[in-house]
A and B are shown apart, each in its own frame.
Chain A
Amino acid sequence: MCLAVPARITEIRGNVAEVEVAGVIKTVGLDLVPEAKVGEYVLVHAGFAIQTVDEEEALKTLELFKEIMAHEVS
């Protein structure tokens, strides 16, 4: 029920932010994540940022899974 794309905040102007993903730039509402900062990644849905995305967690999970898979298949 939810198309949402992770994008990086490049500029904040009041309660809107300019975000960028793979060279595409969009202006989104920051009402739901007012604490987000420039340089952070947010999930963009229906023209609003709805949550921050933790890049570190993303990479950790990938590493964790690679380990689990290596263990499983051995």
Chain B
Amino acid sequence: MKFLSAYRDAALARSILDAIRKISKKESKLMEVCGTHTVAIFRHGIRDLLPQNITLISGPGCPVCVTPNRHVDEAIELCRRPDVILTTYGDMMKVPGSESSLAAEKAAGADIRIVYSTMEAVDLARENPDREVVFFAIGFETTSPTIAAAILRAEREGLDNFTVVGAQKLVPEAIRALLSDDRIGIDGFICPGHVSALIGVKPYEFIAGEFGIPAVITGFEPVDILQGIYMLVRQIEKGEARVEIQYNRSVPSEGNPHAMDLLFKVFEVTDALWRGIGCIPGTGLKLRPEYRKYDAVKKFGIEITDDREHPGCKCGDILRGLKTPLECGLYGTACLPERPVGPCMVSVEGTCAAYYKYGKRRE
């Protein structure tokens, strides 16, 4: 697709960098909320190309990183049942729970299958009527509607052997929590382009309206990211605060109302536990009463009471931009990609994994 490569065009990227360097004078701390942005920024080497006065900090938009141990423990307990086929996105395989991980359980013989789409999980349920197919549901507003769609498909087909472990989250109220924390001083938000393709502009308006901070909904190609940063810097230099869309080819201002209707047909908003951060109100999803039969934890009576996190793990602070991985005592020593302690190191888009993989070490 020609315009995809156009958004990777080196000359255009360099001219935007020149423009940023020209107009950016103030010390500016910009947060990329989304983990996929963190990876893209590292992958193209953008951080070191920006002028010194602009700092990029990574936010908590990594669904793997913020999934509490408890949900991993729930999935693990389920996969140990011989009648269960546990299905999961590849992202969750290596995440450590309180004691084990799905990868370790698979090595020990559990029937765990990696799927690229919830549709595959529904297919498995249809093809294996004598087994229970459980889907480990993580993700933000980009992914949750696909999970709702799968549940509705299962309902239409009358499948009674398909359930989910629900660990999904919502972004906007998490941003509010960050803004309400005085220790975190962010001058501008690079907002997640694909979440926004679903939710549109409105949920972010409070960032500018209530807190007076600029926000730009940004895509993921290098030109997108640089354009988004340019637009933020332009607002910061002029002392403005608006929500703008850089990623307009995929983000209409109303998002995808049909998908969001599907989502809220099946799920309702609740509070959620963010690993390392704690409870953030209005950031979780739970199945509506009429769909609770698709709740795996309820169906199989799973109750985790002894979930615990490693005391030295600083994922919580790192996810809020309070610390960088270099300031965590475990980073690069006890906590490595091949032997992760916390989720920020496991997830490919975890801040610690990205830092480590792309080269920021304590040499």
B-binding residues in A (CB < 8 A): 1-4, 6, 8, 21-22, 28-29, 31-35, 41, 43, 45-48, 50-51, 53-55, 57-59, 61-62, 65-66, 68-70, 72-73
- Chain A residues near B55 (CB-CB < 8 A): none
Known contacts A31-B152, A46-B117, A46-B118; A73 and B4 CB within 8 A of each other = no
Which residue of A48, A54, A73 is within 8 Å of B146 (Cβ)? A48
- Complex contact A6–B143 (CB within 8 A): no
- Complex contact B1–A47 (CB within 8 A): no
Known contacts A1-B61, A32-B146; A50 and B152 CB within 8 A of each other = no
Known contacts A45-B142, A47-B118, A50-B146; A33 and B256 CB within 8 A of each other = yes
Q: Chain B interface: which size bin?
A: 35 or more
- Complex contact B146–A58 (CB within 8 A): no
- Complex contact B259–A32 (CB within 8 A): yes
Q: Of all chain A residues, which has the CB nearest B89?
A: A46
> Contact mask B80-116 → A, CB, 8 Å, 1/0?
0000000001000000000000000000000000001
Minimal beta-carbon separation of A68 from chain B (angstroms): 7
- Complex contact A68–B19 (CB within 8 A): yes
Which secondary structure dominates where chain A touches chain B?
mixed
Of the candidate stretches B41-49, B157-165, B193-201, B331-339, the one touching chain A is B193-201
Further pairs besides A54-B248, A72-B22: 16, Cβ < 8 Å: A1-B142, A4-B142, A32-B262, A45-B143, A46-B143, A47-B119, A48-B117, A48-B146, A50-B146, A51-B197, A51-B256, A54-B250, A62-B3, A62-B6, A62-B7, A73-B22
- Complex contact B258–A45 (CB within 8 A): no
- Chain B residues near A3 (CB-CB < 8 A): 36
Q: Of all chain B residues, which has the CB nearest A70?
A: B15
Q: Of all chain A residues, which has the CB nearest B14?
A: A69
Number of A-B contacts (CB under 8 A): 144
Which secondary structure dominates where chain B touches chain A?
helix
A-binding residues in B (CB < 8 A): 1, 3-4, 6-7, 12, 15-16, 18-19, 22-23, 34-36, 61-63, 89, 116-120, 139-140, 142-143, 145-146, 149, 152-153, 192-195, 197-198, 223, 227, 246, 248-252, 255-256, 258-259, 262, 349
- Complex contact A61–B249 (CB within 8 A): yes
- Complex contact A61–B248 (CB within 8 A): yes
Which residue of B22, B118, B250 is within 8 Å of A51 (Cβ)? B250
Q: How far is the CA of A66 from the CA of B194 in the complex (A)?
A: 24
- Chain B residues near A72 (CB-CB < 8 A): 18-19, 22-23
